[in-house]
Structure 1
Amino acid sequence: MKAEKDLFLAVDIGGTKIAVGLIDNDGHILAYNQDQTCQISPKEGIRQIINMLESLVDQQRIQIETVTAIGIGIPAVLEPESDYVIWAPNLNNWRNVDLKGALATYFKLPVYIEYDGHAAVLGEWWVGAGRTYHTLVDIIIGTGVGGGMILDGKLFRGNNRLAGAAGWFGPSTCIGQQDERPLTNGYWESHVSGPAVTVRAKKLARVNEDSAIVRLATEERLSSITLFAAAKQGDQAAQKLCNQVADEIGSGIANVVSMINPQLVILGGGLGSNCAFLLPRIRKFVDHWAQPFSAQSVEIVISALGSQAGLLGAAYAAILRSAED
């Protein structure tokens, strides 16, 4: 394989899966692979990343020296200047981990790490739904809930590189309000993330034995996607729960729209990318609760890149940051 364009290795680390890709500077994914995320320890997790990248390079029969840099998206708190991983709540025991140093030493390449929400919005802005926009917000609803923002044509990272950590929204809380769900990863995440919606769907299935949810999957395999499928088939109990989820998603988006006044809000992630049928309900909630002029002017769409947004964004982060070095 001849490297006619600059090549970048990209890694998208999630709580459930990890993906790697070889990507050129035009946003073409030349090779791709994914696996379940190793949750044994940071050391084993880094070993998994190295093995997956080496395998990808070997499969493409290229020399590592032809790669310009490695870009990584990870759901973690990062040290602002060094990319040092301070804490990754959805990765087991990932505290104070020098992921960048380990990979840079092993591959002898520059390594650039971004919070996964920032990587995803970079991907959408580069080659996805946000290509023609200068102020946009990407909300990723999957194993967790995160996000990222492009403000006036520039990625906004925030003081601690955590801008867009939407899972911590408290859109319907008030002083003294109690909630039975664990809030370790944030109030909004505890309600609308994939695992949270799955828990709610399982409770629904237990009290509605005739529900399409039960017919579509056993409880062990039941997921938010099963719930959505049941709702689309006309199951009233599933539709009621989906409407609740749509309103809760809309509540968070209404806050974003009122605060940021974006041109575009993108819904991505494993759950968010499957919310197209809920968009009318979400839109109605946003129109009712968000600042009226901001609500009127904003577009709300589903991710154009789906599960590959973070991977492409990790590559784009490496492109942008390597050009600055």
Structure 2
Amino acid sequence: MAVGVDLGGTQLRVAVLRGATLLSRVGLLTGEDATPERLIPRICDAIRQALAEARVELGQVAGIGLGAPGPLNSQSGIIYSPPNLPGWENVPIRDILQKEFPVPIYIENDAHCAALGEYMFGAGRGSEDMVYMTVSTGIGGGIICKGRLLEGAGGTAGELGHMTIDLHGPRCNCGNIGCLEAIASGTAIARRANEAIAAGQGAELLAFARSLDEQTARQLHLPAGTEKESIERVNARTVGEAARAGIALARQILGEAARGLGVGLVNVIHIFNPRKIILGGGVMQLGDLILGPALDIVEQRAMKAPRSIVSIELAQLGPNVGLIGAGTLIYYHG
């Protein structure tokens, strides 16, 4: 058995696992004040609670794996300065946890963890050369080469979302211009929709968003209000629903994002020559609206030899991929 810890900017989840099977699961919000001083004690409490709910003693688990937003160094166990965890500057999280839990502890970039989880227990099983890409609020990735995770000199390899797709494209939060993340992520899709609405081109999309029933509006954070408030809150899921309803602007926006994703996939195929590319994350739940045009670009632009080898598939582990991936660190290093 293993303990998996999935640390995100808004949620903390902990589970006791046997392989990909969750024996217990504890979830909580990180809260607005998620400084290390406040959050690390909560991580420790959540680990103890997960063990208790699984009726497992610490000595019965092979170790603790923690997946966290990068940048981080998996070898030193230090989290540097993740954008969505303010105040986490050079935090030696592994050493801190080691004092509380005397078992092997490993930390890794959350996208790397997801890649390992899919490799061992999901869509990547049996494929020693694979790439995992998560397309969600941002875009991240992990590369498995000959059965080993490609980490790079400083542990930051696999930042697939920050390959340049458009030399003159939008500026990304990372500081680069034209990143895949700035073109094909959920954040990018929402930004393009809001820009179009603000420019007076999205009346039909805005009307569709306002027509969503009250329950859906709450889920999408689209409370009734002024036009300005609605503009600011249209998100990628809204665009996806509008595209399914046949709204032309929504389909155009998703088509552009999908083609950007396709170019990114072509780059991944040419650089890594993988047997499989596994696609996960919330944006991929849009299905053929995003996957179809992306695969068309792959067919048109990728060189025949590596294209004929690769299989592009959707991830299998669903919303628990972060937890399963974190627990997988124990099996991977063991």
TM-score, normalised on structure 1?
0.88
Runs of 4+ off more than 6 Å: none
Query: Mapping of 1:19-38 within 5 angstroms?
Result: 19-24=13-18, 26-38=19-31
Q: Secondary structure at the match of 1:278?
A: helix
Q: CA deviation at 1:39?
A: 5.0
Q: CA deviation at 1:283?
A: 0.3
- Partner residue of 2:137? 143
- Partner residue of 2:112? 118
Q: Secondary structure at the match of 2:63?
A: strand
Q: CA deviation at 1:221?
A: 5.2
- Partner residue of 1:288? 300
Q: CA deviation at 1:148?
A: 0.4
Structure 2 unmatched ranges of 5 or more: 223-229
Between 48-57 and 300-309, report the one with greater CA deviation. 48-57
- Are 1:87 and 2:81 matched, yes or no? yes
- Are 1:189 and 2:187 matched, yes or no? no
- Partner residue of 1:4? none
- Partner residue of 2:226? none
Change in 2 beyond 3 A, CA 1:47/1:38: farther
Q: Retained in 1: the 8 A contact 2:204–2:247?
A: no
Deviations 1:154-212 (A, max 9, x none): 22212211121112111121xxx363554448722233332332222333445322223
Matched residue pairs, number?
312
Q: Secondary structure at the match of 2:203?
A: coil
How far apart, in 2, do the equivalents of 1:154 and 1:193 lie?
27
Q: Retained in 2: the 8 A contact 1:100–1:113?
A: yes
How far apart, in 1, do the equivalents of 2:173 and 2:114 lie?
26
Query: Mapping of 1:1-325 within 5 angstroms?
Result: 7-24=1-18, 26-40=19-33, 41-79=35-73, 81-173=75-167, 177=168, 179=170, 182-184=173-175, 187-206=179-198, 207=200, 208-211=202-205, 212-216=208-212, 217=217, 218=222, 219=230, 222-321=234-333, 323=334
Change in 2 beyond 3 A, CA 1:9/1:272: same
Q: CA deviation at 1:121?
A: 0.7
TM-score, normalised on structure 2?
0.86
Deviations 1:7-60 (A, max 9, x none): 211011223333211101x32111223233345212222123223222222323
Identity percentage over the alignment?
A: 30
Q: Secondary structure at the match of 1:301?
A: strand
Q: Secondary structure at the match of 2:85?
A: coil
Change in 2 beyond 3 A, CA 1:110/1:300: same
Letter in 2 for 1:242: L
RMSD: 2.2
Change in 2 beyond 3 A, CA 1:181/1:76: closer
Change in 2 beyond 3 A, CA 1:180/1:110: closer
Structure 1 unmatched ranges of 5 or more: 1-6
Q: CA deviation at 1:139?
A: 0.6
Q: Retained in 1: the 8 A contact 2:74–2:108?
A: no
